[in-house]
Structure 1
Amino acid sequence: MPDFDVAVIGAGAAGLAVASICGGLGLRTALIERGRMGGDRLNHGGVPSRALLAAAQAAAEARRAGRFGLRLPEPEIDWAGVRAHVQGTIARLAPDHGAARYRGMGVEVIEASAHFTDPDRLEAGGRGLTFRRAVIAAGSSPIVPDIPGLDGVPWLTTETLFDLEEPPGHLLVLGGDTIGVEMAQAHARLGCLVTIIDPAPRILAREDEDLAEGVRTALLAEGVTLREGAAVTRFEQLEPDSRQATAGVVAVLTDGTRVAGTHLLLAVGRAPRLAGLDLQAGNIAATPQGVRTRANLRSVSNPRVWAVGSIADPRGIGPRGFTHLASQHAGVVARSMLFRLPGTRLDYAALPRLVATDPELVQVGLTEAEARAAGHRDLRIHRWPLSENDRALAEGRPEGLVKLVISGRGRLLGAGLLAPRAGEMAGTYGLLIGRRLPLSALASLVLPYPSLAEAGTRAAGEFLAPKFLSPFTKRVIGLLKRLP
């Protein structure tokens, strides 16, 4: 008999979700983690970044109080206090992700690294164990690009950024995608000089251009310097002088421009943690993007193995590096691995992604460009500015946009939101797209007044208005008005 019914490698968001299901169902479950429980979500990702962004938001609101007729002094940034808030948030949430909690569920937590020795066998911390099923949830890590001189200068990733005991004087951010722009705005609001260097023609190149421009405008207004379309040819160490007590970094760009800073943050993406797993011994096929799986997350080469989270590379779908996929992936594994339900597969049609800047940018489903690339014809695009929303005007934040991507048949394919706290509105659009509800369901939704979410109902209502006010409808009303 195998030692375990299910062996889970990795105690990040996806691994914990799978382990809790398996343990709750009474299966003999091993949860193997070589680092800190909670993975990147708790220790280096969503939790500390949102805590830092919240502190930065408070500083920004103090500076913007003048729009309400309030005069407040420039906020004094206590970096030690900010850091205590970030670390304290992690500490308060740690018990929910800790080994004791999962041991209480009947899960055996093994605090060690693991690697495959056979298709049905692992070694963890020098201990050999066999399994009926294994789930690889080892996650991903920040990419360190191959740029000359990088090995000779100090650099940061999100795994080390939140440990800084002093604020950066001038933070150079290499990469203008989600992590880069979030951390750029947070540090700028906390009093740091910030420069983003991005080889792409514009920051947030994957996001809808209309919405990304709103984030770009906000960053520029807060003093962030943008070097878009600029590749780094090499890095050099900046020696300390009378103005700078510690060594810094110089980024030399393709046009010869030299950009100097005190700290360098690498934010060019993430790569799956495949090294050390010895996948070949487990007969587990992989690509540079992760463990190759079918659409139900089952390995294409070893039927005993599944992969979840950012390390999974589903065939025909591709990997996704979002923490909020953990519960969806765990549900797919439960249905396909535990209940053996045929036809189980991932569905990313309503997948949201969030850029947690201020204003926030949320995309649910397809952008306009993605819909066109997917072959959708006769697309209709409908925009509704936040300047038409009563709540936004009352709060002095009229910048923003709702953008609906609608098929020729009137089905919602995607929704983009640029607004304060836009992430809190994403669920409505996810439900609409995921359940294939008609756009009229959004237009008829009754929401508390005034709320930012009303912008979506107004957008849908305005889109449907021409149909409601068509000549045919007017003729019908003309006939009905004669009835007693």
Structure 2
Amino acid sequence: MAEELKPDICIIGGGPAGIAVAIAAANAEVPVVLVEGSEMGGVNVAAAVPSKALVAAASRYESLRVGPAFGVTGAPLQVNLGKVHDHLRSATEAVAANGSAERLTALGATVVKAQARFVDGHTVVAGDTTIRAKHFVIATGAKPVIPDVPGLGEVDYLTFETIFDATRKMGHLIVLGADRYGLEIAQAYTRLGIDATVIDDGPALADEDPELAALVLERLRAEGIRVRDRTRILGVARRRGGIRATVAASAGSEGEEIPVDGTH
């Protein structure tokens, strides 16, 4: 059944920013509508929270691993990726509850679960709901951008939104992109006993201070992470037991190829 709403504020996007505005408006008793076409919490709940929970688990394991150097020993360490996954899910659910549609509704906000589109400068349509608001807040989030790598569409790959669903130990993780997010994932899984190779056609940590980036990369390589930056990716293909990324042997090289085999 069609419905028309006339709030003071209409927020498009149910990520952290949109939720914060909706809560502030509701607490101030300002009529507010939040429109979200997907999951509440956006990329924060889908990726940022579980990634930080993963880093926490990996950091705890690393602290225990280096204990003998300080004279602290115990039972042999083991990683149960299924239980790590349970930890990630628990952390995500706890954060998601604070920004759920149910909580916002209880505070006095109206939540519309549908894709929004403007029909004029003062009107948004979301599903069967028409929203005519005095003010609009556009707080749409981000989605993973799949790199244009030959063959990538023919293999099963993970994104920043799906990698945290893994419940079985991966043999060798290939990460495309040596920014802070890619390196964070590689370090966390390496500390949990999973081999990782990071490939980027540009410099690693390109947006960071070069001297500081060099120190970070030195530490990551010392932990066993293979970082192939300034390396052109020629293609990706299936292989028995996993995938194979083919890279150029050196920057600007022609005809020279090196295979990098992984399971994911």
TM-score by length of 1: 0.51
- The structure that has the greater radius of gyration is 1
Structure 2: runs of 5 or more not aligned: 250-256
2:79 to 77, 80, 99: 77
Q: Distance in 1 between matches of 2:175 and 2:163?
A: 11
Moved over 3 A (4+): none
Question: In structure 2, what residue type is equivalent to 1:205?
Answer: A
- Aligned counterpart in structure 2 of residue 28 of structure 1, from 26, 31, 40: 31
Q: Tell me if 1:229 matches 2:230.
A: yes
C-alpha deviation, 1:31, in angstroms:
0.6
Structure 1 partner of 2:125: 123
Displacement after TM superposition at 1:2 (Å): 6.8
CA RMSD of aligned residues (A): 1.5
Q: Secondary structure, in 3 states, of the residue corresponding to 2:215?
A: helix
1:253 to 227, 247, 254: 247
Q: Does 1:89 align with 2:91?
A: yes
Report if aligned partners of 2:11, 2:32 keep a CA contact under 8 Å in 1: yes
1:220 aligns with 2:221: yes
Contact 1:48–1:86 (CA under 8 A) maintained in structure 2: yes
CA contact (8 A) 2:10 2:131 kept: no
- Which residue of the partner structure matches residue 158 of structure 1? 160
Question: Is 1:6 the equivalent of 2:9?
Answer: yes
Residue 151 (structure 2) aligns with: 149
Q: Distance in 1 between matches of 2:95 and 2:83?
A: 18
Counterpart of 1:223, as a letter, is G
Match of 2:207 in 1: 206
Distance 1:74 1:225, change over 3 A: farther
Distance 2:71 2:218 in 1: 24
- Name which of 68, 78, 100 aligns with 2:70: 68
For residues 126 and 236 of structure 1, the distance between their equivalents in structure 2, rounded to whole angstroms, comes to 44
**How many angstroms does 1:192 deviate by?**
0.4
Distance, in Å, in 1 between the alignment partners of 2:248 and 2:191 is 29
Output the CA distance in 1 between the equivalents of 2:178 and 2:105.
41
Amino acid at match of 1:70: V
Q: Which residue of 2 aligns with 1:262?
A: 263
Q: Aligned partner of 1:146: which letter? A: D
Secondary structure of the corresponding residue to residue 39 of structure 2 = coil
Do the aligned residues in 1 keep the contact of 2:5 with 2:130 (CA within 8 Å)? no
What is the aligned length?
254
Write the distance in 1 (CA, Å) between the matches of 2:41 and 2:131. 23
Q: Is the 8 A contact 1:15 1:137 kept in 2?
A: yes
Aligned match of 2:20: 17
Alpha-carbon distance in 2 for matches of 1:38, 1:144: 22
Encode CA deviations 1:297-355: one digit per residue, 9 max, x unaligned: xxxxxxxxxxxxxxxxxxxxxxxxxxxxxxxxxxxxxxxxxxxxxxxxxxxxxxxxxxx
Q: 1:41 to 1:6 in 2, by over 3 A?
A: same
Return closer, same or farther for 1:74/1:230 CA change in 2, 3 Å cut-off.
farther
TM, length-normalised to structure 2: 0.92
Considering Cα pairs closer than 8 Å and 6+ residues apart, tell me whether 1 or 2 has the greater RCO.
2
Structure 1: 5+ residue runs without aligned partners? Answer: 241-247, 264-484
1:74, 1:155 → 2: CA distance? 32
Q: Find the counterpart in structure 2 of residue 42 from structure 1.
A: 45
Q: Deviations over 1:256-303 (max 9, x none)?
A: 11111111xxxxxxxxxxxxxxxxxxxxxxxxxxxxxxxxxxxxxxxx
Structure 2 counterpart SS, 1:166:
coil
Which residue of 156, 165, 174 maps to 1:172? 174
